[in-house]
Structure 1
Amino acid sequence: MAPSDRIGRGTSFAVIAATFALLTTGGTIPIPLYTLWGADLGFGAATTTWIFAIYVLGTLLALIFFGGLSDQVGRRPLALAALGITVASTLFFLFAANVPMLLAGRFFSGVGVGLITSAATAALAEVYPGPNKAIPAVVSTAANMGGLGLGPLVAGFFAEYLPAPSTLIFAVFITLVAAITLLTLFVPETNPRRVAKISWAPRVGVPRAARSIYLRSAVAVFPTFTLLGLFSSLTPRFIRETLDVDNLLVAGLATFILFEVGVTAQLVFRGREPRWSILRGLPLLILSLGLVLTGFLLANLALFGLGTVIGGVGAGLSFLGGLGQLSRAVPHESHAKSVAAYFIAAQSGLAVPVLTIGALSGPLGLTGATTAVIGVVLVLAVAALVVNARTPRPVGNG
């Protein structure tokens, strides 16, 4: 494709952001559908835990082994690979007839999200045409959190009110992926390939001079994504079992509110310094965890709902601040692999609640397991606040 056939920087920015948001949306579409698949295919909560876990595994493997690859080969090839793998994963969901097909679909969905995460985040920073360098980080985090929240809402609506509840949503999704793939072909490369021979060794990490900043960002984003994972796993069960509401759209709406409140907070406070965002976000995160636990134990919807809103603001600020301060601290040639390292910490936090609650619910019961996990996350969030409250040392060169 000739350079003259490529689209402008502003349009390219919009296409990259839409691609990122679409693929993260696809990562959470299955959440409201597990009950339908469980009834059709005959599996329970334990299998659901593994289906979720293999998605996180796919994301982590992609980030570890390919997260920095776009620093070598360019951003567009990784985006196209992510879109192609997402098409394959969606076909598994469309024709799912057994648990192995669901596992394959979730694994490849995770790989697609992992591939697009660092490449899109880096490309947004490189293609942004305006002078405000904070905007790409805001858009990246909004695309990530916005997509994660949109998936359960859209899937819940399709499953509750439209025919073919576990397949129609994937037919629509794969059509959107095909359309955005065509648009991506016209996006100019923001990081042309600079190496003759590609190194396939894992390229994840940050330059030595930025490691202290990375530590601050990682310890902040870990409990942030743990909160998001808690809501993704707890909210549908809380609404169904405690409130006796079986509407799949309502379950998706509750998760949607948490994520979209986070996106709104990022947009409102986008002009603030990253450290300011973290030091305001983490205390809200701590308060939210306390309210969520109390609401869960007392079956109190008001407390649970208040914790949802406060948690959304806290998560949005913490995530934005962590990514913003890391992006400022690393040089251009290390951008993708540094972002990959950040999202590895985030995705690890996302996996913790579901896997731990699933493992402990047998000996401790659901309430005991949930209480134990939230207690540990509270301690981690307090520790993250202490680490980030300390005056950071200036980042040197190298």
Structure 2
Amino acid sequence: MAQVVPHKVGFWIVAAAFATLGAFGTVPTPLWPLYAVRDHLNSTEVTATFAAMVLGAAGSLLFLGHLSDRWGRRRIILPALGAGIVADVVMETWPTLPGLLAGRVLTGVAVGLMAATATTYLTELHRAAHPAAAPSRVPATVASVANLGGLSLGPIVGGALARWTEHPLLTPYLVFLVLMAAGAVAVLITPETVDRSTLPASGAARFRLRAGRRAAFTGAAAVTFCSFAVFGLFSSIGSLIVRGELHVTSPFVWGVAGFVVLGVSAVAQTVFAALPAARMLAAGLAATPVGMALVVYALYEPSLGWYLIGSAVAGAGAGLLFKAALGSAIATAQPGATAGVLAVFFVIAYIGMGLPPILLAAAGQAVSDRVAIIAFSVAVIAVSAIAARLQAATLRRPETGGTALRSSAAQMTDI
């Protein structure tokens, strides 16, 4: 296989492309209030438009996410960036509700193709760049930070461009059009890590778990569903809450509010990357309810400061939950089926990002946003606690028919 740049350079190129596409997925976060005013949209309609991305992501992950195990990582990353570019053009040139819905579905297709493939690609590039090194947490940490860090950058970039440029609903898309095109060119020169000539003729494995790891995967998937539900809340109607409940009118502040929850989640994953998975779960379960309680307090005693602090704490907790779940999910995959398993994992994550916020927004039409957020927080925290206990149990004991998940998790980058 031809190699144009070293694997260690390709590693960071793929991480940057992953982050760029994630940022494009959330760049409309501070723009939703502007769309809502222009098109007379309520919070449920805004959330449904945001969550249209979930449809595209789920479809591409379920039907195409496993294909990089067979066709190669680069052959999937490039179409992912291409789909993102098409979505960008659609949202630029068709800025009405149907166009936004179509663009968000295409954005989901792009994000879905990228998520499972890039996570696996980073693992393989790092291993190829350091063939003699012991298994490392670096690829999983970088993949997780690129995912959530990218998602966090979209709101603040979109908010800044909306606040200080002449065309707030156009300029952010032009900027990301250039960034995604540059990312596609850079990915073209990264080395492929899948040798198609050595693969069996039967095709790519889809969803295949190691023996006795179904409970571990179920727990990890449920945990990530809840963590992405928290991210979805702040990314979809967070800016509407800041404008409507806290009476803040600056698009840049709307963007900052969206950035905080996802940005802090990425930082928390980096700072606490060395924590054992069980402790990471415990820390996430402790921080998330505290953060959501502070957000509710900020709505009852209107305070932007408390809202930002609460969203930061909740984001840190949700980020740690996601990081622990991602490592466990990688460890459950059979060799050669990592992308297929991660495809299902990310489908569940993005459903969590889209479905609960839609239900929350719909509930907000019948009761106050404050009451709806309290109910949302209780439900998410309860499911997280149950799922985390299931996942933690598999970390402490061997599964039936297999070795302890703890051993696999320690070697999760060597799959």
TM-score, L = length of structure 2: 0.89
| Alpha-carbon shift at residue 42 of structure 1 (Å) | 4.3
Instruction: Name the residue aligned to 1:118.
Output: 116
| Alpha-carbon shift at residue 323 of structure 1 (Å) | 1.0
One-letter amino acid of the counterpart of residue 61, structure 1: G
Superposed CA RMSD in Å reads 2.2
Change in Cα spacing, 1:302 to 1:246, as seen in structure 2 (3 Å) is closer
Instruction: Name the residue aligned to 2:374.
Output: 371
Instruction: Name the residue aligned to 1:38.
Output: 36
| Alpha-carbon shift at residue 272 of structure 1 (Å) | 2.3
Does the residue aligned with 2:347 lie in a helix, a strand or coil? helix
- 1:233 and 1:54 map into 2 onto residues whose CA distance is 11
Note if 1:322 corresponds to 2:322: no
Does the residue aligned with 2:361 lie in a helix, a strand or coil? helix
Q: Which moved more, 1:64-73 or 1:35-44?
A: 35-44
Aligned partners of 1:286 and 1:382 also within 8 Å? no
- 1:33 and 1:303 map into 2 onto residues whose CA distance is 23
One-letter amino acid of the counterpart of residue 2, structure 2: P
Aligned partners of 1:56 and 1:110 also within 8 Å? yes
| Alpha-carbon shift at residue 20 of structure 1 (Å) | 0.6
Identity of aligned residues (%): 31
| Alpha-carbon shift at residue 248 of structure 1 (Å) | 0.6
Aligned partners of 1:257 and 1:308 also within 8 Å? yes
- 1:135 and 1:276 map into 2 onto residues whose CA distance is 18
| Alpha-carbon shift at residue 182 of structure 1 (Å) | 0.9
- 1:70 and 1:389 map into 2 onto residues whose CA distance is 30
- CA deviation string 1:162-209 (max 9, x = no partner): 12111111111111111111111111111233254657xx93453443
Instruction: Name the residue aligned to 1:76.
Output: 74
Aligned residues: 394
Q: Which moved more, 1:224-233 or 1:326-335?
A: 326-335
| Alpha-carbon shift at residue 363 of structure 1 (Å) | 2.6
| Alpha-carbon shift at residue 11 of structure 1 (Å) | 0.5
Aligned partners of 2:141 and 2:273 also within 8 Å? yes
Q: Which moved more, 1:115-124 or 1:227-236?
A: 227-236
| Alpha-carbon shift at residue 27 of structure 1 (Å) | 0.4
- CA deviation string 1:58-96 (max 9, x = no partner): 111111111211111111111011011111101101112
The residue correspondences of 1:257-268 to structure 2 (distance < 5 A) are 257-268=260-271
What is the aligned counterpart of 1:393 among 394, 397, 401?
Answer: 397
Does the residue aligned with 2:378 lie in a helix, a strand or coil? helix
Instruction: Name the residue aligned to 1:149.
Output: 152
Query: Gaps (5+ residues) in structure 2?
Result: 404-415
Aligned partners of 2:298 and 2:307 also within 8 Å? yes
Q: Which moved more, 1:307-316 or 1:290-299?
A: 290-299
- 1:161 and 1:246 map into 2 onto residues whose CA distance is 14
Aligned partners of 2:221 and 2:329 also within 8 Å? no
What is the aligned counterpart of 1:178 among 171, 177, 181?
Answer: 181
| Alpha-carbon shift at residue 38 of structure 1 (Å) | 3.3
Instruction: Name the residue aligned to 1:52.
Output: 50
One-letter amino acid of the counterpart of residue 124, structure 2: E
Q: Which moved more, 1:368-377 or 1:263-272?
A: 368-377
Does the residue aligned with 1:159 lie in a helix, a strand or coil? helix
- CA deviation string 1:285-307 (max 9, x = no partner): 22222322333334344543332
The residue correspondences of 1:91-110 to structure 2 (distance < 5 A) are 91-110=89-108
Q: Which moved more, 1:334-343 or 1:11-20?
A: 334-343
One-letter amino acid of the counterpart of residue 397, structure 2: R
Instruction: Name the residue aligned to 1:305.
Output: 308
Q: Which moved more, 1:223-232 or 1:16-25?
A: 223-232
Note if 1:210 corresponds to 2:251: no
Note if 1:233 corresponds to 2:231: no
What is the aligned counterpart of 1:158 among 147, 153, 161?
Answer: 161
One-letter amino acid of the counterpart of residue 30, structure 2: P
Instruction: Name the residue aligned to 2:344.
Output: 341
Aligned partners of 2:16 and 2:146 also within 8 Å? yes
Instruction: Name the residue aligned to 2:411.
Output: none
| Alpha-carbon shift at residue 356 of structure 1 (Å) | 0.3
The residue correspondences of 1:126-137 to structure 2 (distance < 5 A) are 126-128=124-126, 129-130=129-130, 131=133, 132-137=135-140
- CA deviation string 1:319-373 (max 9, x = no partner): 1111112223434301111111221221121113321022222333433333322
- CA deviation string 1:258-284 (max 9, x = no partner): 211111111112222223212222221
Aligned partners of 1:225 and 1:346 also within 8 Å? yes
